[in-house]
Amino acid sequence: MSMNNHEDLLMDISILYRSTQKYYDRKLEPFHLTYAQLPILLFIFEQEGITMQNIVEKGSYDKGTVTKNIKKLEALDYVEVRPSASDKRVKHLYTTYKAKRIIAQIYKIRIDWWNHIIQNIDDDTMRSFEAVYGSMCERANEYAKLEPEGLRFYGWKKLSLRGFGAHPCSVLEIGGCNLRCPGCQKKHLVFLKEGQKVIHSEEVKTYLTHHKTHLRAVAIEGGEVGLHPELESFLQFLKAEKYAVKIKTNGMYPEPVARWAENGLLDEVEIDLKSAWSGYSEATGIHDIDTSEIKKTLDALRQANVSHRFATTLIREFHNEDVLKEMASIVGHDGHWVWRNYEPGANAIEEGLHGFSKAEIDALEQTVGPLVKTLAIERGAQ
C-alpha cells in the first residue's frame, strides 16, 4: 500500500493498535495491569514527581482517562499520589517499590513487541515512517485548536457542457449520502475514503469569480446536497455572482431544498426518482425509507415554482414497464423526466446489476413516454 494511494491508513493503524492492545493485555495480566495503564506507569517511573496535568499534556489524554488509570495504579499499589507542599491542589505521582520491582519486565514486554512488529523493515524505511507518523500526530494534536472547516467538495469538473443543458457549466460533487442505493455509480461519494482529495469552497469561489464571463452556470451533485446546510452561503455567493444554479437531490431533505427554492437560490432541481413508491426500499437500500419526505420536496418545488425534472437510472433488477408506468404517475402529465441507462463499472456500490438494451429502452419509451410531458434518454454514465 503506497502512502500516496492509501484508502484507510488510519483504519490499518487502528488494527495495529488493537493487536498491540491484545498482546499487552495478555502479557500484563500477571501484574493485573492493562495496556491503558502501561504508558502512564512508564511516564511516572521515568519522571518521578510528574503531575497528572503533565501526563495529560504529554500523552494527549483526556483528564478523565488519566484520573481513572492513576486510581487503578494507586489501588494496585504501583503508584503513590502526594500533594504538592506548595499547592495542595497539585498532586505529584511516584512509583512504589512494588512497581519498581516489575518495571524491568514491563520494558522487556515492550521491546519484544516492538521488535516483532518492525522485523523486516530496514532502518531508512523506519526513520522515514517515524518522521511522517510524527508529523501526522502533531497535526492530530493541533486539530482541537482548529476552526471547523467549511464546505468542501470531492469532485469538480471545471467546464462541462452536460451539467446544465448546453450552458457552459462547472459541475461540483459534494460528499456523503443518506441512502445506499445498490445502483449508485458514485461509490466514491458515498463511501468517503480518508485520502479522498478535498476541494475547499474558497478555491472554487476564486475560480468562479474569475471565470464568470464565460461560465454562466453551476451544477451541484451528490452524494446528497440536502445533507449540507452549509451549502446555503455558497448558493448565495453563486447568485451574487449571477450564476444559474442547478442541484441534484434524492429529495429526502425537503427543508433545506424548500428554503433554497423559496429564497431564489435555485434555478433548476433534478430529483433522482429511484422507483415507484412501493419499490423505494429495494432501490435505495433503506428498508424503512420514508418517501413522504420526497413528496414534501416536490410540493415545495412546485410551490416555489422552481423548474425541476426527474431523473432515473434504468436498472433491469428494479424497473420494468409496470414500475415505470407507476413512476410516470409521480412525474405527472406536466412533468419532465430523464432516463439514463445503468452501466456497471468499478464505481458502482453493488455488483451484478444490469441496464437495458437500446431496443428495450426504445420500446419502454414508446409505452411510458406518452404518460409524461417530456421524456429524454441520456445515454452514458449516471
What Å distances lie between residue 330 and 229, 272, 274, 309, 333, CA to CA? Answer: 27, 12, 11, 11, 9
**C-beta of 178: minimal distance to ligand SF4 in Å?**
7
Q: Is the Cβ of residue 189 or residue 368 nearer to ligand SF4 in the bound state?
A: 189
CA 110 to the chain's CA centroid: 35
Cell 437510472 belongs to 313
Report the C-alpha gap between 310 and 330 in whole angstroms: 9
Instruction: List contacts with ligand SF4 (CB under 6 A).
Output: 177, 179-181, 184, 186, 189-190, 222-224, 250, 272
Q: Whats the size of the chain, residue-wise?
A: 382
Neighbouring residues of 200: CB distance < 8 A, sequence distance ≥ 6: 149, 150, 151, 152
- What residue is closest to ligand SF4 based on CB? 184
Cell of 24: 499487552
Nearer to ligand SF4, 27 or 248 (CB): 248
Name beta bridge partners: 249.
271
**Rounded to the nearest whole angstrom, what is the least distance from the CB of residue 221 to ligand SF4 in the complex?**
8
Nearer Cβ to ligand SF4, position 151 or 190? 190
Measured from the CB of residue 110, what is the shortest distance to ligand SF4 in angstroms? 45
Please give the Cα distance from 78 to 70 (Å, whole number): 9
Q: Least distance (Å) from ligand SF4 to the CB of residue 322?
A: 22
The interaxial angle of helices 38-46 and 63-75, nearest 10 deg, is: 80
Nearer CB in complex with ligand SF4: 350/360: 350
Q: Which is nearer to ligand SF4, 95 or 250 (CB)?
A: 250
Q: Least distance in Å: CB of 189 to ligand SF4?
A: 6
